[in-house]
Structure 1
């Protein structure tokens, strides 16, 4: 009997020890949970009716926090309609992850330029239940209080509610679309993926590239000393050597996609119907966590381009055309996509270009960097048009973009095409040709121009 009592007492003591230990654990668990919850602020959710009521009020601002591709027009994360809520601005959650030593300074500038300020009521929307909360937490830490979260799938499901997308948004593709295309082999239709950069050997390509992609050296499409595009005959050989026909789906990208846009513009000029550039370049692919390939892929030539090139001859213009554009100032503009210092003649911008200044009568369209978000994606059309308006550049005019040798201007031309603008072109020779030509009629201006 004593032994049974002793055993019972021991069991009771052991049980008390366990309960005490468990009690200690349970007392700390709420603290841990509370700390984790503290990383995300509790943000009020707004209904569709409330959003409709406040949509056009000056003290409210609607912010799309999804990736840039969704804002442009792609149907991502299960939305019924692509694009953004009419009147919305953008501030993507993934901008907060960009590796840049000046990221915070740049983001502060972006917030100010977009009018995302603490004095306003700010509706942050997404379609994945994550992006809006991420941006809300970021803004809350900055002292923003009037924050609301909304699921854009509700808005997109109602066809009566206004949404906007770019007419040719499909020309800029998300990494997810490219990944799907590779998986389904483009449903059996011919396609090619190219990494584009200068040089026979690309360090970027060799260090890792999208599976199946082939390297294009920009020397394949242009040549010095002016660095204009090559002849139509040479460009056709380039296309055939790379396995490109007029009906091939062509996807281009790069570590910095400027070279990809250069080749994209030339291929459209030639007559390739389905050309796209990965929005955000190779970084967008890597950031999405998709597979990267190291082995080199060889070119696969074809024997016929399919159409007589160039199909879109007016997509790229030369010196005589540029002069005509300058003569018709009411209806056309030669748009300078160089830095301010290049535009006013402080520098030529190139070691091999001696001349400084700008073609007389050309207008400054801002440097190419002004057309990119912090993650290298396309800046919103609203902001691009606002930049142009400051220099009396209208999307209704015939616009021909130029830079030093065609790379920067090609990217901006491509964005203008994505926006759906008509009567647009690349002045291929740019400042390199204009400043070097012996023709004395190539008048040049130096100094700060008037916006009027």
Structure 2
């Protein structure tokens, strides 16, 4: 009996090696709750009371936006000090959301025309200030996907009744500082991974020592929609970004990093932080160590392009 069990075990191991598949790595959080398809979003708009937020630049919004959408652009949720595109304070967020008819209880659908990055940054900002993940989703593929789904668009300005939004205290657990990054660089922990989501050209000029490079656009399919959680759950562990680690991500100013943040969160990752000062803070400090990247992202062991 023991011999038979051993043979069966060896056959199972051989099958796993032969197929190139690995055992599933469990994720701690709910999967698929943060990102919604354009078709699903249009159905929600018909059936529920929601606020649709267009995260384009104001000029692009005026040229074309979903009929009934409000506009919250990047400048409405960030500040330019001490470094560009850093998280704005609570009072600015309260004004930006409240002035656009959003309350703490509002269900919000967000889209952009920029590889999902600005929509994701607004989603992350609202998360930091306490908005429930049950009440906000990013529309995968943004404006182009909505067009393909048959959405109605308009142009020009809009009017909306201002309401009150009260931000919670900033959740520092979702934000990494330069000192945290430096501590990890100087004394690396196996439980922490630093993720650089910039382009290959950008990282070729320098990277935070020990960081793993995965371009944020790798989260998207060719049509600009996010890959499903099943793909993310293979792609990132194949590159040593596993759900059991604290993952700290950054780009040039951590707008793109927010897109990687939501892709991982949507796939069940929960111990996530955004380094808000980002590469621009790190590289501007002559005392911080810099390194050159090694290798390239691995392909998932079992791809799912759906």
Which runs of structure 2 are paired with 1:239-278 in the superposition (5 Å)?
A: 239-256=97-114, 257-273=116-132, 274-278=135-139
> Is contact 1:319-1:429 (8 Å) kept?
yes
Indicate yes or no: 2:31 matched with 1:172: no
> Is contact 2:72-2:96 (8 Å) kept?
no
Instruction: Give the distance between the partners of 2:165 and 2:199, measured in 1 at CA.
Output: 41
Cα separation, partners in 2 of 1:177 and 1:230, compared to 1, 3 Å: same
Which runs of structure 2 are paired with 1:215-364 in the superposition (5 Å)?
A: 215-224=71-80, 225-256=83-114, 257-273=116-132, 274-305=135-166, 308-310=168-170, 312-326=171-185, 327-345=187-205, 357-364=206-213
> Is contact 2:64-2:154 (8 Å) kept?
yes
Which runs of structure 2 are paired with 1:189-208 in the superposition (5 Å)?
A: 191-198=50-57, 201-203=58-60, 205-208=61-64
After TM superposition, give the deviation of residue 377 of structure 1 in Å.
1.3
Cα separation, partners in 2 of 1:248 and 1:328, compared to 1, 3 Å: farther
> Is contact 1:344-1:448 (8 Å) kept?
no
Q: Report the secondary structure of 1:320's partner residue.
A: helix
Instruction: Give the distance between the partners of 2:184 and 2:258, measured in 1 at CA.
Output: 18
Indicate yes or no: 2:264 matched with 1:431: no
Which runs of structure 2 are paired with 1:17-416 in the superposition (5 Å)?
A: 167-186=30-49, 191-198=50-57, 201-203=58-60, 205-224=61-80, 225-256=83-114, 257-273=116-132, 274-305=135-166, 308-310=168-170, 312-326=171-185, 327-345=187-205, 357-364=206-213, 366-416=214-264
Structure 2 unaligned spans of 5+: 1-14, 23-28, 298-306
TM-score by length of 1: 0.54
Instruction: Give the distance between the partners of 2:232 and 2:106, measured in 1 at CA.
Output: 31
> Is contact 2:174-2:272 (8 Å) kept?
yes
Instruction: Give the distance between the partners of 2:220 and 2:43, measured in 1 at CA.
Output: 25
Instruction: Give the distance between the partners of 1:237 and 1:319, measured in 2 at CA.
Output: 29
Q: Report the secondary structure of 2:110's partner residue.
A: strand
After TM superposition, give the deviation of residue 445 of structure 1 in Å.
1.0
Instruction: Give the distance between the partners of 2:143 and 2:296, measured in 1 at CA.
Output: 39
Partner of 1:422 in structure 2? 270
Instruction: Give the distance between the partners of 2:129 and 2:137, measured in 1 at CA.
Output: 14
Cα separation, partners in 2 of 1:209 and 1:279, compared to 1, 3 Å: same
After TM superposition, give the deviation of residue 253 of structure 1 in Å.
0.4
> Is contact 1:197-1:217 (8 Å) kept?
yes
Partner of 2:294 in structure 1? 448
TM-score by length of 2: 0.78
Q: How many pairs does the alignment contain?
A: 267
Structure 1 unaligned spans of 5+: 1-56, 62-86, 88-165, 346-356
After TM superposition, give the deviation of residue 328 of structure 1 in Å.
4.0
After TM superposition, give the deviation of residue 376 of structure 1 in Å.
1.0
RMSD of aligned residue pairs (Cα, Å): 2.6
* Structure label with greater radius of gyration: 1
